[in-house]
Structure 1
Amino acid sequence: MPETPKILLIVCAALEAVVGLLMVAVPGRILARMLPGMVPGLDAIVVARLAGSALLSLGALAWFARNMTDPAALKPVLAALLVYNVLAAVNLFYQGAKIDSGAYAPGVIHLILSVALVYYLRQGA
Structure 2
Amino acid sequence: MKINLTSVYVDDQDKALRFYTEVLGFLKKHEIPIGTDKWLTVVSPEDPDGTELLLEPDGHPAVRPYKEALVQDGIPLASFAVDDVHSEFVRLREQGVRFTQEPLKMGPVTTAVFDDTCGNLIQIQHSA
Structure-2-length-normalised TM-score: 0.32
Bigger strand fraction: 2
Structure-1-length-normalised TM-score: 0.32
Bigger Cα Rg: 1
- Looking at both structures, which has the greater relative contact order when contacts are Cα pairs under 8 Å and sequence separation is at least 6? 1
